[in-house]
Structure 1
Amino acid sequence: MKKGLGYLSFLLITLSSAANAAVIYQANDGSNIDLYGRLGFNISDKKSGDTSGDFDGRIGFSARQAINEKLAVIGFTQYQVNAAEYANNIRAEDPDDLTARYVWAGFDFADYGKLTGGRVSSGLIMFTDIGDVFASSDVAMARQANFIDPTAVQVFRQDGTVQYQNTFGNFGVSTAYILGNNSSDLDYGVNAAVRYTLDMGTAGKLQPVVAAQQSRASHDDTSVQSDDNADKYKMWGVGTRYYLGDLMLGMLYSEDTVQYIDGRPDSIDKDYEVTIVYSLTPDWWLRTGYRHLKNADGDDLKLRDTTFEVQYKATAKSSVYASYSWRNGEAGHNRITGDRVSFGGSDPADDFFHLGLRYEF
């Protein structure tokens, strides 16, 4: 059973990071540069209701230069075609442009943790990954973070972040201060996450997580906020993963709130999600999940999604995915413009299917 737990944990981490790196430089002192990427093709009717095919491409480099056995300089960069966020340029002129998902550098202090700065691999991923298990999924929790910081299209990737991460026994911890940049319009931002791993032997393994963030806009003359009256953002969430043999069960609950300076009521999202991942065999994987999000006093978006996905691992680095999402939500409306608010580029009331071929290196 412990072998199954270890294999399931390893593959979930691999899938979430897509870091099947190839060493392209190796020095005698242990310094190295690794290349990794992802190529794929997806067929879906998600975006417009009409079936279409889209290329999926991602490329990145990680680097490490040893100073001594206790200290190293580290760096990481990852770009993607048609990425969910727009990073420093805020909005890509062409959706097929390469846009930055991660760009950071820092120090690895071995047992004393890591200090990184830039568009970092946020410790909040310990929480968001509980729900982010599908090949075609969009992250719903903390979706309003970009009302305050336009670079935070997803809350776990934000420009101008200085972050510390470490592991203390069974505890994984992360804390960050978000300085922002000329595109962020931030006065400040802070976040933190803590995860505890409880090994219960034959009864499985439990990994509870708590996460939180708060940020505030600067309201300067160069603001690129979609709503200049959005002032403060708060998010908190609790969740857990439970591993038993070849089964993983995930549950989470989160709230995020946007406060305004013009007297409007706070816009509040409440989101809960359940996910199940099961390794039928080392080659065949099954996933299912349910998400329920409801906004109050904001755009009134409602999500009620049930997703089922099958993955076939043709090789260690290539997979075929097939999924279907039953949706019973309601599109929201922007309080300023009155425009309809979709989610993930599609109407939350419309079902969609996804077929994908993915190769990672």
Structure 2
Amino acid sequence: MKKTILAVAIPALFAASAQAANVYDADGVSADVYGRMQFDIRDDNTNTDAVGSARMGFKAQSEIATGVSGFAKGEWQIAAEDADSSKFTARHLYVGFDFEDSGKVIFGQTDTAFYTAVAPTDIFNSFGYGAYTLVEDGRQEGQIIYSGEFGGFILDASYQFRNPDFQVGVGNPEDTSYVDLGAELDSAYAATLGYNFDFGLGLYGGYHVEKFKDGDKKNMALSASYSWEALYLGAAYVNAKTDDAKLDGYDLVVSYDINAVSLYAGYAYQKASGDATLVDGGTMTFDDLGDWVKQSTLGVSYKFNSNMKVWGEYLVDNGKGVDTEGAAPALTDADNQWRIAVQYNF
């Protein structure tokens, strides 16, 4: 989650940020290391398994001139030895300049500016994010990003260069898998405007254009967040269009904190229509999908201290799934899922 924007709105129990350890701080130069260890028990209504994972990160900052600093960040996801996924995956890799009150400029791999517009409903540890499938593409490489906050106003903008092996993230950003769309991205640009009121309300609007050889994909999002004492509410509407296809979705979340316990829930919906090329040149008729995302999620977490927490989440999935393993995508029946996890941050 983008805490610089949603620090007031998002309850601290949802934050997966590490407790960074400072390893150097002298003469205007600082360096921190951080990470986490996690163990999940997962059930997809077919199999129950357990898997461990880790995350390691490094960030540094140094003063260049009065009011100007340079910074860098690298963060990697590390899978357990017997996991089927990639063992070592980059999440964030970038360098940049911080101009204090004038904002930051970032170069590298991280979230696009469009993410800021959907972040108000990104509160789940394991599930969530169903309404954003094929709309918000996850962390992308080859970007130049500007991020600024002026009073209560938020301004984020990003440009992405050509990517011949373009992939999109599918699922919760904390547990994202990436799908190759079989398409070459020529370029992309995004922007989000927002305003955070001093009584707990935040309003955001985002737009993202992706240019491919065979046409453009245009995405938009409108969202709101509201926090009052231990209560948090978030809502978002998203839309994506190509020449032949359209996606419409909305996402609703609520959370309530009781001391160290946090209770949270959400509902995600998305409707598809038209045709679209998805995987390896295969075409899926979105009209066959219709209301293909209908997900309700319930969760509870308990925070032992600032480092360690546990949670359980249950996903009721009344929608449809897409099997992307073959030469062309195919429909599958969606199943209910649950997950229990323990996580230690350092």
Q: Which amino acid aligns with 1:166?
A: G
> TM-score with structure 2 length normalisation?
0.82
> What's the counterpart of residue 50 of structure 2?
53
The question of whether the paired residues in 2 share the 8 Å contact of 1:58 and 1:81 is answered with: yes
Matches of 2:142 and 2:229 in 1, distance apart? 40
1:354 match: 339
Which residue of 251, 266, 286 maps to 2:235? 251
Q: Alignment partner of 2:85: what SS?
A: coil
> Which whole-Å deviations, capped at 9, do the CAs of 1:119-140 have from their partners, x for residues lacking one?
1343333222222211112533
Alignment pair present for 1:208 and 2:185: no
Higher alpha-carbon deviation: 174-183 or 98-107: 174-183
Seen in structure 2, the aligned counterparts of structure 1 residues 333 and 77 have a Cα distance that, compared at 3 Å, is closer
State the distance in 2 between where 1:127 and 1:159 align: 19
Of 293-302 and 109-118, more deviation after overlay is shown by: 293-302
Contact 1:71 1:109 survives alignment (8 Å): yes
SS at match of 2:116: helix
Deviations 1:306-327, CA, capped at 9 Å, x for gaps:
1110000012111110111111
2:78 to 71, 81, 86: 81
TM-score (norm 1): 0.78
* SS of match in other structure, 2:117: helix
Tell me, yes or no, if the aligned pair for 2:19 and 2:345 is still in contact at 8 Å.
Answer: yes
Taking the aligned partners of 1:244 and 1:304, their CA distance within structure 2 comes to 28
Secondary structure (helix, strand or coil) at the match of 1:130 reads helix
Alignment of 1:76-225 (within 5 A): 76-82=73-79, 95-144=85-134, 155-184=137-166, 185-200=184-199, 205-217=200-212, 219=213
CA contact (8 A) 2:239 2:246 kept: yes
% identical aligned pairs: 25
Task: Assess if the C-alpha contact under 8 Å between 1:57 and 1:81 holds in 2.
Answer: yes
Distance 1:127 1:54 in 2: 32
Contact 1:39–1:358 (Cα < 8 Å) also in 2: yes
RMSD: 2.5
8 A Cα contact 1:114 1:165, kept in partner: yes
Which sections of structure 2, spanning at least 5 residues, go unmatched? Answer: 1-5, 167-183, 276-283
**Equivalent of residue 237 in structure 1, options 216, 221, 231:** 221
Asked if 1:290 corresponds to 2:233, the answer is no
TM superposition shift of 1:183: 3.2
Aligned residues: 308
User: d(CA) in 1 for partners of 2:207 and 2:237?
Assistant: 12
Distance 1:258 1:7, change over 3 A: closer
Q: Give, in whole Å, the separation in 2 of the partners of 1:273 and 1:142.
A: 8
Q: Using the alignment, how far apart are the partners of 2:272 and 2:312 within structure 1?
A: 30
Q: CA contact under 8 A between 1:252 and 1:272: conserved in structure 2?
A: yes
| Distance in 2 separating the partners of 1:340 and 1:313 | 40
- Residue 274 (1) aligns with residue 252 (2): yes
Contiguous gaps of at least 5 residues in structure 1: 1-5, 84-92, 146-153, 220-228, 260-265
Measured in 2, the distance between the counterparts of 1:16 and 1:315 equals 13
Contact 1:61 / 1:77 at 8 angstroms: preserved in 2?
A: yes
State whether residues 251 and 267 of structure 2, in contact with CA within 8 Å, keep that contact through their aligned partners in structure 1.
yes
CA contact (8 A) 1:214 1:233 kept: yes
Provide the residue aligned with 1:68 in structure 2.
65
Q: Any conservation in 2 of the 1:81–1:98 contact (CA below 8 Å)?
A: yes
2:36 is matched with which residue?
A: 38
- Change in 2 beyond 3 A, CA 1:285/1:186: same
1:144–1:257 contact (8 Å) kept in structure 2: no
In structure 2, the CA distance between the partners of 1:252 and 1:191, relative to structure 1 (3 Å rule), is same
Partner-residue secondary structure (3-state), 1:144: coil
Q: Once superposed, which parts of structure 1, at least 4 consecutive aligned residues long, lie more than 6 Å away?
A: none
Q: Does the CA contact (< 8 Å) of 1:144 and 1:258 recur in 2?
A: no
Closer/same/farther in 2, CA of residues 54 and 138 from structure 1, 3 Å limit: farther
